Amino acid sequence: MEAVAEYSAQERDETLATVREALDRLDAEIERREETLRENWADMDDAAKEAGREQLRSLRQARNEMGERYGALQESTGSAWDELMAGFANAWDAFSDLWKTTDSESENN
């Protein structure tokens, strides 16, 4: 039984590491988008500026939600893990949908 517990802990740790790496990549991409917005700011009209600010605000808010859920995952144990992981997966899906929307809107502006 100890081997099962060790495997579960190892699997949990690997999942957390994978999630952390994904969040780090998202942070870098959001930063890249912010930099692009700053670089193009002078050439943008007011509507494009507001759209860019709103997109970044929405992405940051969704990313913060995932960060909070990640923190809860780090602290979870036992049966709470599955429920919290499902919540994180839902937050990830919502972020992914938002990301696709902002990409689409950026292409149209």
Which of 2-11, 65-74, 77-86, 91-100 has the weakest average pLDDT? 2-11
Q: What is the mean pLDDT of residues 8-31?
A: 91
Tens-digit pLDDT profile for residues 45-88: 999 999 999 999 999 999 999 999 999 988 887 778 888 888 89
Q: Torsion over CA of 76, 81, 83 and 88, rounded to 10 degrees?
A: 80
Please write down the long-range contacts of 74-82, taking CB distance under 8 Å and 24 or more positions apart: 74/16, 81/12
DSSP 109: -
pLDDT of residue 36: 95
DSSP 42: G
Within 41-78, residue ranges assigned H as helices are: 46-75
Extract the tokens encoding 7.
């495997």
Q: 98 and 59 in contact (C-beta within 8 Å)? A: yes
Residue with tokens 């992914």: 96
pLDDT of residue 4: 45
